[in-house]
């Protein structure tokens, strides 16, 4: 007889996971209106108070290209302030457990992060990115893969000397919106290269929603076979076909323990329009309809993982409330179903019950818990043709 125990089927599935938040950076970068600095500070704080310990704060690249991040230094200054540290202490948050990340695609941004670190407001961690498909990489970084790898090696060494961790991202793992099909084996090799040059961890990114659950399971199984330390690997999924939750499940089955998400499933390619003005961004969008673009949704992912009995350290109800607040900030309905419909309650929703059930059962001579007619066998007897 087959096992009915889920964990026997997937023995690598973790009992505890870490979910980092990237709303204020990756989520807001696709918005075509400027999100106020006050709102960014608010959500950074509230996400931390709700349980986030690994949070992306901003992008330290050229604000001319992405003016959404013109307030980068103000946000970092706020998070390094004594006032915020005091608020953390009052909320029972150990400030030293927090990790603040900034995106630094190119060396100039890495140098900026190091200067900010010297001023006492820099990030703990920066992110650099490669795509296995070179046309996509060139569109994001403006240079070739060999040239970028050499630049990344220099940057990792600089950051190590400055006391900053470097996360190396690998993208176009499951396909490129420009170049088409890609090889998983190439992404495994790229991941090894990040560790070879001294990266602290690796973000494995589906940046356009290309991944399918079987290929996600296959890839992460390959990754964990080659580099078994689960602390090294972070799963990053975009949502374009309503398949990201299946990818998260496939990751868990493969043994992945680190994930990233955004409130409301916000995010996507950097905006090429902000408020009333066109901006460079990263050029034309790769898709036709921005309503169907974003990242895996924090609220729904947390509910999914929580209801699987996997520990995560977040206050789920507070996050659902934050998701509803975010819809007011953005000014439209976002992608979370859990933020609207809530969690699955074990005790049910008694206020939806119709009156009179107990009275009706009593009038029929039934006991309160009786489910089958009197005189039926205690257990069902299947006809032989339907048996196992």
> CA-CA distance, 380 to 302, in Å (whole number)?
38
Res 368: pLDDT: 95
pLDDT greater than 70 at residue 363: yes
The CB density around residue 362, as the number of other CB atoms within 10 Å, is: 11
Res 269: pLDDT: 87
Percent of the chain residues past pLDDT 70, beyond the cut: 100
pLDDT digits (tens, 9 = 90+) for 365-375: 999 999 999 99
The mean per-residue pLDDT over the stretch 278-286 comes to 88
Phi then psi for residue 297, to 5 deg, are -85, 125
Token couple for 142: 């403006």
Among 69, 90, 82, 77, smallest CA distance to 24 is for 69
Res 209: pLDDT: 85
Res 347: pLDDT: 83
> CA-CA distance, 6 to 162, in Å (whole number)?
45
pLDDT digits (tens, 9 = 90+) for 291-320: 778 999 999 999 999 999 999 999 999 999
pLDDT digits (tens, 9 = 90+) for 338-360: 998 888 888 888 888 899 999 99
Q: Say if CB 338 and CB 296 are below 8 A apart.
A: no
List, in sequence order, every residue forming a beta bridge with 297; answer none if it has no partner. 262
> CA-CA distance, 123 to 125, in Å (whole number)?
5
CATH architecture of 12-341: Alpha-Beta Barrel (3.20)
Res 84: pLDDT: 98
- Domain residue limits, the chain: 12-341
Q: Say if CB 343 and CB 318 are below 8 A apart.
A: no
More confident residue, 285 or 188: 188
> CA-CA distance, 5 to 108, in Å (whole number)?
51
Q: Say if CB 270 and CB 28 are below 8 A apart.
A: no
Res 240: pLDDT: 83
Token couple for 245: 């939750």
The mean per-residue pLDDT over the stretch 187-209 comes to 96
Among 326, 345, 322, 341, smallest CA distance to 51 is for 322
pLDDT digits (tens, 9 = 90+) for 100-144: 999 999 999 999 999 999 999 999 999 999 999 999 999 889 999
Res 343: pLDDT: 85
The contacts of residue 352 (CB under 8 Å, 6+ apart) are: none
Res 293: pLDDT: 85
> CA-CA distance, 298 to 33, in Å (whole number)?
22
Res 367: pLDDT: 96
Res 366: pLDDT: 96
Sorting pLDDT into bands at 50, 70 and 90, what band is 1? Answer: low
The CB density around residue 320, as the number of other CB atoms within 10 Å, is: 23
């Amino acid at each position: 007889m087959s096992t009915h125990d889920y964990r026997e089927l997937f023995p690598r599935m973790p009992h505890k996971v870490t979910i980092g938040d990237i709303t204020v950076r990756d989520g807001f970068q696709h918005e075509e209106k400027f999100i106020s600095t006050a709102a960014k500070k608010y959500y950074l704080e509230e996400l931390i108070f709700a349980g986030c310990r690994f949070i992306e704060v901003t992008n330290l690249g050229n604000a001319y290209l992405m003016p959404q991040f013109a307030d980068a230094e103000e946000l970092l200054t706020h998070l390094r302030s004594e006032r915020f540290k005091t608020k953390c202490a009052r909320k029972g948050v150990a400030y030293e457990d927090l990790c603040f990340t900034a995106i630094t695609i190119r060396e100039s941004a890495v140098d900026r992060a190091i200067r900010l670190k010297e001023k006492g407001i820099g990030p703990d961690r920066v992110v650099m990115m490669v795509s296995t498909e070179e046309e996509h990489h060139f569109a994001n970084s403006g240079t070739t893969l060999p040239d970028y790898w050499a630049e990344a090696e220099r940057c990792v060494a600089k950051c190590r000397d400055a006391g900053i961790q470097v996360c190396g991202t690998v993208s176009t793992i499951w396909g490129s919106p420009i170049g088409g099909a890609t090889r998983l084996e190439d992404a495994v090799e790229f991941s090894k290269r990040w560790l070879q040059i001294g990266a602290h961890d690796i973000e494995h990114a589906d940046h356009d929603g290309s991944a399918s659950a079987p290929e996600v399971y296959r890839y992460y199984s390959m990754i964990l076979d080659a580099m078994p330390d689960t602390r090294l690997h972070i799963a990053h999924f975009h949502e374009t076909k309503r398949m990201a939750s299946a990818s998260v499940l496939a990751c868990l089955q493969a043994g992945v323990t680190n994930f990233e998400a955004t409130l409301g499933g916000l995010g996507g390619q950097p905006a090429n329009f902000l408020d009333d003005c066109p901006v460079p961004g990263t050029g034309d969008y790769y898709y036709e309809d921005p309503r169907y673009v974003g990242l895996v949704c924090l609220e729904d992912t947390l509910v999914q993982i929580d209801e699987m009995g996997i520990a995560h350290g977040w206050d789920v109800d507070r996050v659902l409330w934050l998701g509803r607040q975010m819809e007011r900030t953005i000014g439209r309905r976002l992608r979370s179903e859990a933020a609207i419909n809530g969690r699955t309650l074990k005790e049910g929703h008694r206020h939806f019950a119709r009156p009179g059930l107990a009275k009706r059962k009593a009038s029929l001579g039934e006991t309160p818990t009786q489910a089958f007619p009197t005189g039926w066998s205690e257990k069902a007897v299947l006809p032989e043709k339907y048996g196992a």
